[in-house]
Amino acid sequence: MAKTDLIGGSIWEEYSQKVQELMNNPKNQGELTEDDAKRLGGELIVADFGAESCGDAVRLYWIVDPKTDKILDAKFKSFGCGTAIASSDTMVELCKGKTVDEAVKITNIDVEKAMRDEPNTPAVPPQKMHCSVMAYDVIKKAASLYKGVDMESFEDEIIVCECARVSLNTIKEVIKLNDLKTVEEITDYTKAGAFCKSCIKPGGHEEREWYLVDILADTRREMEEEKLKEAAEKQASGEEISFNDMTLVQKIKAIDSVIDESVRQYLIMDGGNMEVLDVKQNGQYTDVYIRYLGACSGCASSTTGTLYAIESTLKEKLDPNIRVLPI
Amino acid sequence: MMKVYLDNNATTMVDPEVKAAMDPYFTEIYGNPNSLHDFGTSCHPALRKAMDQMYEAIGARDEDDIVVTSCATESNNWILKGIYFDLIKNGDKDHIITTEVEHPSITAVCRWLEEQGVRVTYLPVNQEGIVEAHTVRDFITDKTALVSIMWANNETGAIFPVEQIAEICKEKGVLLHTDGVQAVGKIPVDVIQAGVDFMSFSAHKFHGPKGVGALYIRNGHPLTSLLHGGEHMGGRRSGTLNVPGIVGMGKAIELANYYLKFEEEHVRRLRDKLEDAILELPDIYSVGPRANRTPNTVLVSVRGVEGEAMLWDLNRAGIAASTGSACASEDLEANPIMTAVGADSELAHTAVRLSLSRFTTEEEIDYTIEQFKKAVERLRAISSTYAYMPENMKA
């Protein structure tokens, strides 16, 4: 919550121009029939995803060349809001000309990014993200139909949210891809938990096997572990790691080595010294607690000039968000 | 492009006469009515007149209180929390009865009260969108502190049998509150004839200003204050009086009552014309029988078209409408009224509400009919509901 949140924005004003244009004039809207398939020499696939009772439903038509697995033509029909129509249209555009295996790799992020006007401005507000998730789930459905496997085996899915039919894999993927940190964000992106809310946490009106709070905690832990592993591997291979990507232990070592190389000698020259007591992550800041030794303790400059010099050295060599706190 | 405002159940245009009545109380007569000097007291005649207008309009008696608040949400919060403090937390009651289709300023407070340990019964509505009076009787117990039931529904315009419910409450000795926000100014409202103990209403729903509402309290019934801090409103609701707001609310309610017949005849005729024309299209339904609706409201369900998509197209054509469903709001739930009236689940996200006012013109309605049909045609052409699906691919 802050100033900008107090007067709710207009959802529609946050749509990119591309989203608005596609809503007004979708290019790939329509049907494909057996006749079209015959004409193009391919196989017709028609896949449904979502349900009108949930507020969003999309039907994807593909004509696939059985020899090359290439998607020769694609169209969609959609029951949904502007974002659903625009993202379905974009999803179809992205499918065309790809093989089925390539198309399955298209993510909701690809769909959303393709609708941006500016590379760094989201095409739709967060509560509309679920529409692009839907547009990518239908690709998997179509691919499963084409390959003659049922969707469950195709993506080995456990349905976490029955109302919106959102799978465990989708939720984990969306958390990882978008670096989601709250259950509310999961709901914005996937619609999971938006309806009966039973899947959010235990104690809802229906007992569930999986809950969003647990999935979020587990996935965040996995992400932390992956980050740790990555940092360790980088260090082992001698690759440079940015301060932010370091583990706490790596950070402490890096701070110590900067102090050894660039600070301590000057303190010793003046008959003093220092030691690092603790390093704590405090939001965006890394707080370094130090204690002065020898002549430094009690020196007037220890809380002004000297402290400034230590802090600036660490900021310059490691990270601008380091703060040095003498005890 | 023509601009047509058909979202009058959300808020209304301030009547220019109301604005004119309020005008002197911004830069000319701006004193604090609680002050002793002339600057303060010079607004008293206008305040007294506004209070007279409000008492007259809803049929309140001198021994009753109409406490001016900042909005109906405040009034609704006050009655529920006040009753909670007086009869539940510091009394021997533990139960409140309301309905499934109240405004969030009732239901959200009830959910919060449930967290405080209060039992709340949410009565369902029938297919016509109203609570039948006898269901209230079935749920009242000797632990029931309050029944809170809206007079008219914001989404459908359905008018609830408040008078019959009041009889039951009286017989059982239970207090009755009604959220009259959508009724006042649209249909005749007489609190004494209806027999309610409390009623919330709000100026901006009947061409008055935003930021001013009221709670009617029969016989000055005691109720723990929501806002403490001064002796305003007889000590019942603290906060410097919103002088222009109160003056505007008085004028607005007087005008609204004056135009009730016009509302009943002219606005109803335009609403019916619009509804008839829309219902000519296939697979479109309206909710609740017309005879039992506020004259300005129609909620239609357009099969195959998601509500927000419909709003988008109407907005492009300069027409303001609303939908309580799915995508349009921040939460993604289906329009609760559609579920409540037992509509086909596939229609839960297809509701579009059109609400007129006495300022709506025939030309605007003709234009809306034309544009509504266009939008339905375009969006159904995109819709998966009506799209081709080969037999062998059906799930």
Answer whether A45 touches B (CB < 8 Å). yes
**From first to last of its 327 residues, what are the pLDDT tens digits of chain A?**
577 778 877 888 889 999 999 999 999 999 999 999 999 999 999 999 888 877 789 999 999 999 999 999 999 999 988 889 999 999 999 999 999 999 988 877 788 899 999 998 989 887 677 676 677 789 989 999 999 887 665 555 687 887 677 889 889 999 999 999 999 999 988 888 876 677 898 876 467 788 999 999 999 999 999 988 888 888 888 787 888 888 888 888 889 889 988 888 888 888 888 889 999 888 889 999 998 888 777 777 777 788 888 899 999 989 899 999 888
B332 contacts in chain A (CB < 8 Å): 55, 127, 130, 187, 191, 194-195
Q: Is B332's CB within 8 Å of A57's CB?
A: no
Question: Hey, what are B94's tokens?
Answer: 């533990």
* Domain residue ranges in chain A: 11-154, 157-241, 245-326
Answer whether A187 touches B (CB < 8 Å). yes
Look up B327 and say whether it is catalytic. Answer: yes
User: Distance of CA B321 to CAs A123, B300, B356, Å?
Assistant: 25, 11, 10
Give the per-residue pLDDT at A181.
93
Cα B123–Cα B125–Cα B128 angle in degrees, nearest 5: 165
Q: State how far the Cα of B101 lies from the Cα of B103, in Å rounded to an integer.
A: 7
Q: Is A79's CB within 8 Å of B334's CB?
A: no
Q: Is B332's CB within 8 Å of A52's CB?
A: no
Answer whether A272 touches B (CB < 8 Å). no
Is the ipTM value over 0.90, yes or no? no
**How close is the nearest chain B Cα to the Cα of A80, in Å?**
5
Strands, E, within chain B: which ranges?
Answer: 4-5, 65-69, 95-99, 119-123, 144-148, 175-179, 198-202, 213-217, 284-286, 297-302, 319-320, 351-355
Q: State how far the Cα of A70 lies from the Cα of A62, in Å rounded to an integer.
A: 10
First to last CA, chain B: 45
Q: With pLDDT > 70 as the criterion, what percentage of chain B qualifies? A: 96
Interface test with B, best of A48, A60, A81 (most B CBs within 10 A): A81
Convert the pLDDT of each residue in B305-361 to its tens digit: 999 999 999 999 999 999 864 444 444 455 667 777 777 778 888 999 999 999 999
What lies within 8 Å, CB to CB, of B53 at 6+ separation is B250, B251, B253, B254
Answer whether A195 touches B (CB < 8 Å). yes
A245-326 has which CATH code?
Answer: 3.30.300.130
Q: Is B327's CB within 8 Å of A85's CB?
A: no
Answer whether A78 touches B (CB < 8 Å). yes
Q: What is the mean pLDDT of residues B116-129?
A: 94
How many Å separate Cα B72 from the centre of its chain?
Answer: 9
Closest alpha carbon within chain B to A126: B330
Q: State how far the Cα of B51 lies from the Cα of B278, in Å rounded to an integer.
A: 42
Mark out chain B residues that contact chain A at CB-CB < 8 A: 304-306, 308-309, 312, 315-316, 325-328, 330-334, 345-350, 381-385, 387-390, 393, 395
Q: State how far the Cα of B98 lies from the Cα of A268, in Å rounded to an integer.
A: 77
Domains and their CATH numbers in chain B: 16-258 (3.40.640.10), 260-382 (3.90.1150.10)
Q: Is A46's CB within 8 Å of B331's CB?
A: no
Asked if CATH classification 3.90.1010.10 holds for the domain at A11-154, the reply, yes or no, is: yes
Q: Is B382's CB within 8 Å of A26's CB?
A: yes
Question: Hey, what are A260's tokens?
Answer: 């050894």
Q: Is B309's CB within 8 Å of A80's CB?
A: yes
B388 contacts in chain A (CB < 8 Å): 31, 33, 46
The closest alpha carbon to B21, from B45, B4, B56, belongs to B45
CB-neighbour burial class of residue A2 (10 A; exposed 0-12, middle 13-18, buried 19+): exposed
Question: Hey, what are A35's tokens?
Answer: 């006749």
**How close is the nearest chain B Cα to the Cα of A32, in Å?**
8
CB-neighbour burial class of residue B182 (10 A; exposed 0-12, middle 13-18, buried 19+): buried
Q: Is A58's CB within 8 Å of B384's CB?
A: yes
Closest alpha carbon within chain A to B347: A53
